[in-house]
Amino acid sequence: MLYDRIVALLAESGVAFEILCHEVIRTAADAERAVPGLVDHLVKTVAFQVKDGAYVLAGVPARARIDYKRLADLLGVNRRLLRSLSPEQVEEELGFEVGGVGPFPVVEGMRIYFDSTLAGAGRIYCGSGLNTRTVAMQFADLLAVSGGDLVEMTKA
């Protein structure tokens, strides 16, 4: 199970983390109801695929919107070659439950990016693979464990 792989990755890395258990979360509104204040520190992760097959996970503040053109430019591809995955693809191809996508390398060659506005974030929350579990940890630790890069990719 993907959740177990993510928890093992975190445990093996030696970073401090906590798993929050809650009702099913699929949207930001669900998150706010389940854990008040969660959205203010939530790293929303959106899954993409480049036409050549490469998967990309983009982590941004929960209320931010990704600039698809900017992300495509970072990847060195035309915007038309970058598409967000459908909920079915997220589950079937990556193994994440809808509402449980987290910025963890779950497929070989996967690229992970975080918006630069997260650089100074302290304790954050992110998906764990399950939509009934949320990871809480320091953003600097998440950045290190995920192998992600900080880039500018949100709309102003």
Distance of alpha carbon 41 from alpha carbon 123, whole angstroms = 7
Compute the average pLDDT of residues 63-77: 95
Whether residue 52 is predicted with pLDDT greater than 80 in this model: the reply is no
What is residue 18's DSSP assignment? E
Cβ pair 98, 91 in contact under 8 A: yes
Cβ pair 105, 5 in contact under 8 A: no
Cβ pair 77, 113 in contact under 8 A: no
Cβ pair 136, 17 in contact under 8 A: yes
Distance of alpha carbon 89 from alpha carbon 62, whole angstroms = 21
CA atoms within 13 A on the CB side of 150: 12
More confident residue, 61 or 27: 61
Q: Which fold has domain 2-151?
A: YbaK protein (3.90.960)
Cβ pair 131, 3 in contact under 8 A: no
Tell me the three state secondary structure of residue 120: coil
Q: Which of 17-21, 50-54, 80-84, 126-130 has the lowest mean pLDDT?
A: 50-54
Whether residue 148 is predicted with pLDDT greater than 90 in this model: the reply is yes
Dmax (CA) of the chain: 40
> Within 10 Å of residue 101's Cβ, how many Cβ atoms?
26
CA atoms within 13 A on the CB side of 156: 0
- pLDDT band for position 150 (50/70/90)? very high
